[in-house]
Amino acid sequence: MSGFRGRLARLVPHLRPLGLESTTQGTIAQRGALSMAGLLAQGGLRFATSWLIGQVAGKVVLGTVAAAMSMGTILALLWPTTTGSAASKYIARARGAQDTVELHAVTAHFRRRALQSGIVLSLLAFPLWATVGNGLWPEAWAVSAFTAAYAGYTFTRGVQYGTGQVARATLWDIGCAAIGLAVLVALLLLGVRGPALLSALALSYAAYTLGGLPRGVDRGATLPAGLRSELDQVVLLGVAGSVASSGFLQISMIVAKNLDAAEAGQFAAAMTTATPASLLAVSLSLVLFPALAEEWGRGDKALFRTQTDQATRVLVLAMVTVLGSMILCSRLVMSLWGPQFDAETLVFPLLLLAILASNIATASVNALATRSKNLMQLSSGASLIGLAVGALVWVFVIPSLGIVGIAIGYLAGTLVGALVPLVTEWRIGGHRWGLLLGRAALGLVLLIGLFVAERALGVPVLAEPLIALLFCLVWWTLSRKDLRLVPRRRRTPHPSA
């Protein structure tokens, strides 16, 4: 009984309204692990949603629901999602500078902007789904509800990470994911089909939003006009970058739906299976971005550089290992979707390669966004150019390759959007990444060679894990220096680092 009471006592503070001045708990590594757990829960919810819909309702319904989800996600990217990311940065910076007035002022400003944009964009979902999405008006309410709830979720998550309350955010992620999954199963059993199934995710995100709203925000705290303008400009720049990077994959899903309904289901299955592989980079980004901003606010440039370097090395090591293994086991992984889906499709490994490229650049993108608005603008511009490159590739390859052409275009555009910030941070930060990136390139050459040989020689599906293991052993041998050094370089010079 005493053990239960102890666990309950530790749980209760996470159920109370969020306090802006709460003490940051744990190191970056510990917060990263907690963040991973929360994102696994949310990623698991999205994967389970798509998988259950695909198994129960079929490929065509899955394609329609995935396109509706992508539209809602893109709409949220148009302001609320970036507002959450910016709030994470500026809240952490104000906490690092111990400026209580600015802390409350920026929180109030971002909360107001998130509410305003969330309402407008959720209303915009009605005509968009009925026209661009080729949907029906009765279906649009679910897309609208999903947009509003997801907008609230991304904002409140950013605030919780900005205040260092990662354990709290993780608890709510896990609990709300369980709610969403239970509601989805109930809807499927009741015979609900189409975009209305998104109401399960909408309910999950709405519960998270209500649980993560900050309390005690001083509405009387005012921002200087210059800082208010800076905040809005940073969000605007972030919107451009988010739509061109994160939104690129969602746009690809909508293009696939308008190309062929059944093939859209195949693309949705590949996309849903590929995206959880990026959870390490996303969780690291959620923790690293406010941490970098806090160190920048303190003026600790040496630790800022060390954290960026260490995060990049971890990402290269982990992403090549995880995503490379998934690429080599792609037929085995895709067979989980059953016989109505094509396990041989090249869409899945192509999407994984694109995600690999974007994930490796995650720490550089965060570092540039923290350094200055101009460098953030450079990253956003690179993403926009990447989107244009991808769309141009689509024009030439989709007519002959179909959804495989969509994946090729996405890969081409993502490479452009990832390489520019990575090379820029490499030079500006004075990092010693020459051998690191050369090793990554060698690993990718080996990976592609093994994949081509695997398909050309007709290697049995059950033998794919052995090939993946061989690849990992070679890759870990090449990366043995980082395997030894990364744990040793972990340090916590500040209680809130």
- pLDDT confidence bin for 226, thresholds 50/70/90: confident
Task: Please check whether residue 199 is in contact with residue 149, taking contact to mean a CB–CB distance below 8 angstroms.
Answer: no
> In the prediction, which pLDDT does 248 show?
92
- pLDDT confidence bin for 130, thresholds 50/70/90: confident
CB-facing half-sphere around the CA of 128: CA atoms within 13 A: 20
CB-facing half-sphere around the CA of 283: CA atoms within 13 A: 29
Highest mean pLDDT among 21-30, 128-137, 209-218, 397-406: 397-406
- pLDDT confidence bin for 303, thresholds 50/70/90: confident
Averaged pLDDT score across all residues of the chain: 86
Q: Give the pair of three-digit tokens for residue 266.
A: 């195949």
Give the mean model confidence (pLDDT) for residues 264-270: 94
More confident: 221 or 353? 353
More confident: 56 or 8? 56
Residue-wise pLDDT for 16-66, tens only, equals 667 676 767 666 667 767 877 888 888 889 999 999 999 999 999 999 999
> In the prediction, which pLDDT does 207 show?
95
> In the prediction, which pLDDT does 30 show?
73
Give the mean model confidence (pLDDT) for residues 268-288: 78
- pLDDT confidence bin for 281, thresholds 50/70/90: low
Residue-wise pLDDT for 382-413, tens only, equals 999 999 999 999 999 999 999 999 999 999 99
- pLDDT confidence bin for 497, thresholds 50/70/90: very low
Give the mean model confidence (pLDDT) for residues 315-336: 93
Give the mean model confidence (pLDDT) for residues 181-210: 95
Task: Please check whether residue 146 is in contact with residue 202, taking contact to mean a CB–CB distance below 8 angstroms.
Answer: yes
For residue 424, what are the contacts with CB-CB under 8 A and spacing of at least 6?
Answer: 364, 368, 375, 378, 379
Give the integer Cα–Cα distance in Å for 20 and 165: 9
Where are the domains positioned within the chain?
10-488
> In the prediction, which pLDDT does 363 show?
87
> In the prediction, which pLDDT does 200 show?
96
Own/partner pairs for 21-25, CB < 8 Å, 24+ apart?
21/95, 21/100, 21/103, 21/163, 22/163, 22/164, 22/165, 23/164, 23/495, 23/496, 24/95, 24/163, 24/164, 24/165, 24/495, 24/496, 25/164, 25/165, 25/166, 25/167
What sign for the dihedral angle of Cα 227, 214, 368, 96? Answer: positive
Q: What are phi and psi of 214, to 5 degrees?
A: -70, 145
Residue 402 per-residue DSSP state: T
Residue-wise pLDDT for 414-469, tens only, equals 999 999 999 999 999 899 999 999 999 999 999 999 999 999 999 999 999 999 99
Give the integer Cα–Cα distance in Å for 61 and 427: 47
In order of 3, 220, 237, the CA distances from 107 in angstroms are: 37, 12, 19
More confident: 320 or 22? 320
More confident: 294 or 171? 171
Residue-wise pLDDT for 72-127, tens only, equals 999 999 989 888 888 888 898 888 888 888 888 898 899 899 999 999 999 999 89
> In the prediction, which pLDDT does 2 show?
47
> In the prediction, which pLDDT does 262 show?
83
> In the prediction, which pLDDT does 276 show?
81
Q: Determine which of 142-156, 248-262, 388-402 has the lowest per-residue pLDDT on average.
A: 248-262
> In the prediction, which pLDDT does 167 show?
86
Task: Please check whether residue 259 is in contact with residue 347, taking contact to mean a CB–CB distance below 8 angstroms.
Answer: no
Give the mean model confidence (pLDDT) for residues 231-247: 85
